[in-house]
Amino acid sequence: MPIAILSEHTDLAESVRSFVKRVAPSEVLHEALENPIPNPPTYWKGASEQGLQGVHLSEDVGGQGFGILELAIVLAEFGYGAVPGPFVPSAIASALISANDPADKRLEGLASGEVIAAYALHSTLTATKQGGGLVIRGEVRAVPAAEQASVLVLPVAIDGGEEWVVLDADQVEIEAVASVDPLRPVAHVRANAVEVADDRVLSNLSRPLARALITTLLSAEAIGVARWATDTAAEYAKIREQFGRPIGQFQAIKHKCANMIAETERATAAVWDAARAIDELAEKGAEGSAFEFAAAVAGTLAPAATLHTTQDCIQVHGGIGFTWEHDTNVYYRRAIVLAASFGRAADYPQRVVDVATSTGMRPIEVDLDSDTQKLREEIRAEVAALKAMPSEDRTTAIAEGGWVQPHLPKPWGRSASPIEQIITAQEFSTGRVKRPQMGIAAWIIPSIVAFGTNDQQQRFLPPTFRGEMIWCQLFSEPGAGSDLASLTTKATKVDGGWRITGQKIWTTGAQYSEWGALLARTDPSAPKHQGITYFLLDMKSEGVEVKPLRELTGNAMFNTVFIDDVFVPDELVLGEVNRGWEVSRNTLTNERVSIGGSEPPFLASLDQFVAFLAEGHFDQIEQHEAGRLIAEGHAAKLLNMRSTLLTLAGGDPMPAAAISKLLSMKTGQGYAEFGVSSFGTDAVIGDQGEASGKWAEYLLAGRATTIYGGTSEVQLNIIAERLLGLPRDP
């Protein structure tokens, strides 16, 4: 999924993608490996006619008047095409000048494409004051596109600080040097007592903002490269055959490709948020640290993603991927140069930690249009009325008002649109009005609404919404966990109902539950996904025995449930007989979305992890690892947010939700592993009164998170097959 979510951004991405395909096909890329790139490149005029050089620049200087998010969308598409030449460096340089002064007349030539610029992230340039200006001396190494540019935007040490200064190329010495990526030429720049006026100093451009801009825009190009590598590997895995079948059918290849898209999606979410943070900073006209945190997250994740995916793309292609003629050569070289362009990789996780533990992480909020204010006021008034009720009446009013799961159709919900659901959640939170917690029932309720009879709905839904009826899910069996369709619990038809015998396992909260959602096989002769029926089981029925299953934590959240010739009347069949798989798919879909969208209470949360870091003392190696974990955890939350926004935009939220579930559970385990390892020998202390004991509990409990709700391995299969279209296992 590209950066774009909104329709206008999707249109922009598609337009640029079409342009890139036209001007930078594979043969053009390979020609650029062997021959110098024309200056300006052959596509330059076409890009300027389309307004691409000035998409982010003010209309006052001839630009299109959009922001950094739109520029990031453009650069991601240029990354996807590995477009040769100075487009990306020039765009970054113009963004730096514009951040200092959007009306700077020097931007006019950049917006029109008449001027090419270059930038640098680091330098040894120093300046001394002389008269009404500066004298600059020193060197900047490996400046991208320096030889092609007529304007250079370079960092210079001035009076103990760092400022970006605009120099003309003819003022300095430029020495072209060989680049690992011939499509992205580099050169050393030397200034020998270059005199410049004070107006060449971008004095309104702070060092943090300059670095955030460079980081975010480099990250945008990087995720374009990562997306190409992921798509290309998946497409090859569909057609390349070994041992008589496509290699994409082998789980090793399938999981490699699924991990590629997961890492790319996580980095994409981070870049999207970093670009938005910079745009918000420009709109509000006041600096804060949120944009620094967001950019540091992008800088932690994007260069790693582009390196890992291009390496894996070569691996999936095998020998052909190691040839000069294949495009993998082009993109891996671009990935190496991009990763190097960020400077020291360790700087970004460190910055993540520094900001998170001092001024705090960037809030994850869904901003809604002002035209939703009337709806917000209506919901706020209703929430206030609920809050004013006596507590004994409030719960019933919340349940009967459809507030518990407002997305459900009336009368069980409010038939709420995605926007209304968001506002409802926000207003109940800010109004501090608690809604009954559904637990496992949250996954079962939609199935009863969708498939239940009127009698079933009236009997079960009202008390469940009031929090009075506790449910469990009787799906998994000793021989049917991830492969749920292999279940063997048997239901035999008798007068007035069914006799059911079997065993269920890993049943959360069964010892406290009054009712259970039960799958049993009613037609053993049917294919395994058919002949299954969905029952509603009274857990007090004769023949039901619940035995708590003590986990490695020492607690008993799960249970084994023995079902011995239990009678279930016909009126407790949910949906049609032998069509239970269809009903269970509804339940499982709700389960996976729910798990992906929240942090389990028995696992360390991102906020707890950051608080733990703020209270302790850690060396650089530990802080590097901690910064990576924070970046991954924050980006997983961003994936959930993008899933919500995709729903609002009418898109498919499931790809982001599926990947979020996969990644967030693994990252949550990482928090606990880090916490326990930091205690040294004290980590052996299991006393819950000790800090080490609490983190040890998180560590033990965390092993379950990559198993329940679909193991990570099964989740990787789902991602590979449904998102990348790889062939199913035979």
Say which residue the tokens 């072209």 belong to: 176
CA distance 380 to 431: 8
Check: CB of residue 404 under 8 Å from CB of residue 436: yes
DSSP letters for 191-220: EEEEEEEGGGB-TTS-HHHHHHHHHHHHHH
Residue from 1, 207, 47, 20 nearest 723 by CA: 1
Say which residue the tokens 């009075």 belong to: 468
Supply 398's token pair.
Answer: 């919340």
Check: CB of residue 534 under 8 Å from CB of residue 515: no
Check: CB of residue 217 under 8 Å from CB of residue 95: yes
Residue from 296, 297, 266, 292 nearest 277 by CA: 292
Q: 10 Å Cβ neighbour count for 552? A: 9
Cα diameter, the chain = 103
Q: Give the DSSP H or E segment for 549.
A: strand 544-549
Q: How far is CA 287 from CA 207, 281, 553, 646, in A?
A: 12, 6, 46, 29
Active-site residues, by number, are 591
What residues contact 375, with CB distance under 8 A and at least 6 apart?
A: 419, 420, 423
Residues facing residue 538 across a β-bridge: 515
Check: CB of residue 644 under 8 Å from CB of residue 425: no
Q: Backbone dihedral region of 574: left (phi > 0), alpha (psi from -120 to 50 degrees) or beta? A: beta
Check: CB of residue 402 under 8 Å from CB of residue 428: no
